[in-house]
Amino acid sequence: MSSQNTCGVFFDEDEIIFDQHEQQLYIIADLGSSAGRADAHTRLLEANCLGAQSGQACLGLDGQRQVFTLHRILDGELSYEEFEKILTLFIRATRYWKEWLAQPVVHQPTKAPLVPQGLKI
């Protein structure tokens, strides 16, 4: 953990950042470059709606770094089992969206297929 209460952990090839602010824990992942990916904005916004296809996390755009992100904010204390469930779901969502964004643009349908059941709570 850094002096700023930030820690990066790799789960296989996926780096997940944990950033603590008082009683809140931010879980953050970069998903892929947003440069030249205006085609992805609508799909990501649809998936973001009420967390239905993002594993209850929030899809976003870091405009300064030109990267799509996923984050979730945990507030207060959780049991280890609950934290593990949330983190597992977050990692699955991260991997799904990284894979989706890595597909060539020409092969992505206007409406991407529904996210696998594993991303829904």
pLDDT tens for each residue of 45-59: 998 888 878 999 999
Q: Which domains does the chain have, with CATH numbers?
A: 6-104 (3.30.1460.10)
Give yes or no for residue 2 having a pLDDT over 60. Answer: no
pLDDT tens for each residue of 18-47: 999 888 999 999 999 999 898 898 899 998
DSSP per position, the chain: --TTSEEEEEETTEEEEEEEETTEEEEEEEEEE-TT-HHHHHHHHHHHGGGTTTTTSEEEEETTTTEEEEEEEEES---HHHHHHHHHHHHHHHHHHHHHHHS-GGGS-SSPPPPPGGG--
